Structure 1
């Protein structure tokens, strides 16, 4: 569950660790450049359209008799899923599908949260402790209780929001109110079992809160075998610089069972500086439904995060990998690529 003020979202997006030392610009190999350009093209195709209380809906909700959860603008749903699948592609996962019935159920969840003007805390999951309004049927309320067990986002803005801002906030996990280092929302978006997701959103009846629901908990998916044995964030290879910041937890999720808290080291391969990660937490099987037997989260500590630099992450004796940062909202130029002599 996420709570944020969208006026500050993009400021956080570009947050980096302060440094008084000169920044060294590094160049990309040919293979890295190819991947960067592929991701940049995908990102540039994503819609940045802003949605407010009116434009968000193809049909407005009706909080009364007859009750209607409303119908979202199809483009909002399409864009939300495009962001979900772009982020899944960064870590090498297949696309999630999006079906009309899943959207209907997710919309019931969002409308139910809006109908009771749910407080921005964990009790919103499953509508714990909330009394069903008389105009909502028992069947619809039961559905809402189920779909709100998935990802929930609270956002407040007088000027509206974009679909991408909601999904990006969930993937970054800068301010998960479930606790420091908790990556439950990221785990669902980057689930190695998931095959589909439903999208819902509605504004509170007595507040300016947009309640967003990503319905991604399905019994048939939870029983599937994971399609990958590990997921890391930042991902191996190349990774968007905009998706990390001073408050963004890094994570290692795996089908391997790991006990305790391994020592984690991050080396800037460009400057040759090695630092130990901080705030290491082992969540064990907490996110097993998403495909992970163990999930470990941590912060980069004193590591300076610099665009174009290449980093190596060593997670105890369990796994080591490297990645290089790039800007997804930019376009890689030829002069940024290493030239090989013939």
Structure 2
């Protein structure tokens, strides 16, 4: 799925297609010998969790338990509970990859998010940064001041504008916000990802609605709360790709990488180097951006984004990211939509003086 995203203080996105596919070649047959014991355990854990995620496609026919009413009395509608649950399952799967705790979800923040989505749908909001906070939009007479104010606040979180007749899975929408690979606010801006991977956030509300007359599918992730911003971060540094093991499928050729700092300020744009530790090939990152404190609302005092340059990414390879003079970390790629095979060891009995040894190469 290809998305355009917009960011104002924190977030927005537009779905243009419905397929997510990496752009790099990979050998599908992978065995545990490619990973350390701890890496293999992590890979199997995440592969198992990924397989359990719901892949239901949602469209205007099955999104709601109760459809919105764009008239007096205004009703933002009620979502299928599975859509909300699946959205949060994906959010928390990606947070777990980043070493972050789950976010909670409750009726109050879901209701607010649904009001936000319902109001966006009521005004047929354009794919624009101005959808955040409903800037420049006139309140329809059938929407109360209370609901309008709620929508203004809820739409300061992530917004997704889906432009497709086929609908999408809840996971596709969350994944596109995580990848943040075509942000209207500018190349390399990953504010949507920063909200999803906030080191301070504790909860998120989910809302969605189809436009009153434009057929556009609006999704809202209500996740900007003052009390969360003031919390102590659960991690000082959050990276994408994630430290440790990271899904190969998420790294499309146009997906920016990022490192967020919760307790550090960076006043320069450093050089970044990426090394394939499996082949010992090294490349300098390109399009390095320092977003400073732009993601403060997501809980970060500093944020760097960059592209891996000309370095080829290969499944099972281990990589080192060096932000010169600031931070270094490593990760190994794995395929989340697969099953790591058990490495079979062959016992060879040795004769007294000689032994026949068999070697097997694992790719």
Please, what TM-score do these two structures have when normalized by structure 2? 0.89
State which drifts further: 258-267 or 287-296.
Answer: 287-296
1:305 deviates by 1.1
Displacement of 1:340 in angstroms is 11
TM-fit CA distance, 1:289: 2.2
Instruction: Kindly state the Cα deviation for residue 206 of structure 1 after the two structures are TM-superposed.
Output: 1.6
Secondary structure in structure 2 of the residue aligned to 1:6: coil
Structure number with larger C-alpha Rg: 2
The DSSP-based 3-state class of the residue aligned with 1:221 is helix
| Alpha-carbon distance in structure 2 between the residues aligned to 1:314 and 1:70 | 48
C-alpha offsets along residues 251-278 of structure 1, whole Å, 9 cap, x if unaligned? Answer: 0111211111111000011111000000
Deviations 1:301-338 (A, max 9, x none): 10111111110000111111111110101000013x89
1:2 maps to what in 2? 13
Deviation at 1:6, TM superposition (A): 3.0
Other-structure match for 2:216 = 209
What pairs up with 1:1-342 in 2 under 5 angstroms?
1-7=12-18, 9-10=19-20, 13-16=21-24, 27-254=34-261, 255-335=263-343
Structure 1 residue 159: Cα displacement: 1.6
Consecutive unaligned residues in structure 1, runs of 5 or more: none
Cα RMSD over matched residues? 2.0
The structural deviation recorded for 1:23 is: 11
Specify whether residues 40 and 136 from structure 1 end up closer, same or farther in structure 2 by C-alpha distance, changes over 3 A only.
same
Runs of 4+ in 1 over 3 A off after TM superposition: 22-26, 337-341
CA contact (8 A) 2:15 2:164 kept: no
Q: Which runs of 5+ in 2 are unaligned?
A: 1-11, 349-363
Task: Say whether the 8 Å CA contact 2:22–2:253 is kept in structure 1.
Answer: no
Secondary structure, aligned partner of 1:321 = strand
Q: CA deviation at 1:4?
A: 2.1
> TM-score under structure 1 normalisation?
0.94
Query: Could you tell me how far apart the structure 1 residues matched to 2:322 and 2:204 are?
Result: 33
Structure 2: how far apart are the matches of 1:339 and 1:330? 24
Matched residue count: 334
| Deviation readout 1:267-294 (Å, 9 max, x if unpaired) | 0111110000000000001111222111
